[in-house]
Amino acid sequence: MTTTRRKFLTTGALAAGATTLSAPAVLGQTPIRWRLQTYAGAALGAEVIKPAIDMFNKAAAGQMEIELFYADQLVPTGELFQALQRGTIDAVQSDDDSMASPTEVTVFGGYFPLALRNSLDVPALFNNWGLNEIWGEEYAKAGVKHVSAGSWDPCHFSTKDPINSLADLRGKRVFTFPTAGRFLAQFGVVPVTLPFEDVEVALQTGELDGIAWSGITEVYTNGWSNGANWFLTNNISGAWIGHFFANMDRWNELPDHLKVLFNMACEQSHYYRQHWYWNGEANLRVNGDKLKLTTIPDAEWAQVEDAAKKFWDEIAAESPVKAKVVDIFKAYNATVEKAGAPYR
């Protein structure tokens, strides 16, 4: 018995030590703690990020804990990249555009006009057409880990007054993304940037005439349907490109199994959003009681689609990396258009 106990104390201690090195937060040790800030306000965040973080924290079993912060709680959304790069926060859920990433691919984050028509276009492009590799390289240059890209909601106009033609857009003060605003300005839209939580009041007071920031699901979820009256069924993008990012040093410090677990939580978040939006976009058009629908005729909307193709070429001319991404978008869209329904 003594020999067995002694043998256990020596070999068992070594084994316990090895376990401690690979999993530093078990059996009462201090867990790894991260702070993650999302672009989303609290109401939206309850759907699009909190379930995934809760799942991660439970699965991490005390080895790691992520504290979640909503839009602008720690830093303004436009400063998320800088805070992530410095290590002020450890991880971010956002699109490139909103957090003002100083990369060659930032312009494609959020809503790149009419490059994507369906929610599955985004994971198809990132996982099969080389976008994951491009994003990974561009963010690594800035000391940031690109963890995961996913497909989120489409981009429609929700407005106080009805939009029945392109002429109705002229002069409208619209809350939207930087790249989308740059594109829409040619149709007379006046892009406006506000803190996320101020948008509902701005719609109600008339500071904003509308938003081009989401699909109908988020308009209801965010409370924006309390200030907007009309929803335009034409969209300038069928899916938002959103991401999870991490500070590179914090990422490299994680043991491999926690890296895998965090990536799985991100992927689950993306998947949840796909079916949440897919259901919400249809259900709220039919059963929502606050927004009435309008549509710009296809023949007139074709002007927007033609303008998008010119916009792509303008962006491609800005750098070789941007040209490479645009070429991928063109090749992908040509493929799915030839494939036909249900792809296009």
The enclosing domain of 222 has a CATH number of 3.40.190.170
In a domain, 189, yes or no: yes
Q: pTM score, two decimals?
A: 0.88
* Nearest in space to 154 (alpha carbons), one of 222, 223, 217, 227: 217
Tokens representing 156 are: 């429609």
Residues 303 and 170 in one domain: yes
281-309 residue pLDDT tens: 999 999 999 999 999 999 999 999 999 99
pLDDT level of residue 184 (50, 70, 90 thresholds): very high
% the chain with pLDDT above 70: 92
DSSP state of 110: B
The amino acid sitting at 309 is: K
Expressed as residue numbers, the domain containing 145 is: 31-153+240-280
Handedness of CA 8, 10, 14, 17 (dihedral sign): positive
Q: What is the mean pLDDT of residues 52-56?
A: 98
Residues 82 and 92 in one domain: yes
pLDDT at position 344 is 84
Which position has the token pair 């068992």?
A: 12
Domain count, the chain: 2
70-126 residue pLDDT tens: 999 999 999 999 999 999 999 999 999 999 999 999 999 999 999 999 999 999 999
Look at the chain and count its residues: 344
pLDDT at position 28 is 53
Query: How far does Cα 109 stand from its chain's mean position?
Result: 8
Tokens representing 257 are: 């199994």
Judge whether residue 12 has pLDDT over 90. Answer: no
* Nearest in space to 309 (alpha carbons), one of 337, 288, 287: 337
Residues 173 and 297 in one domain: yes
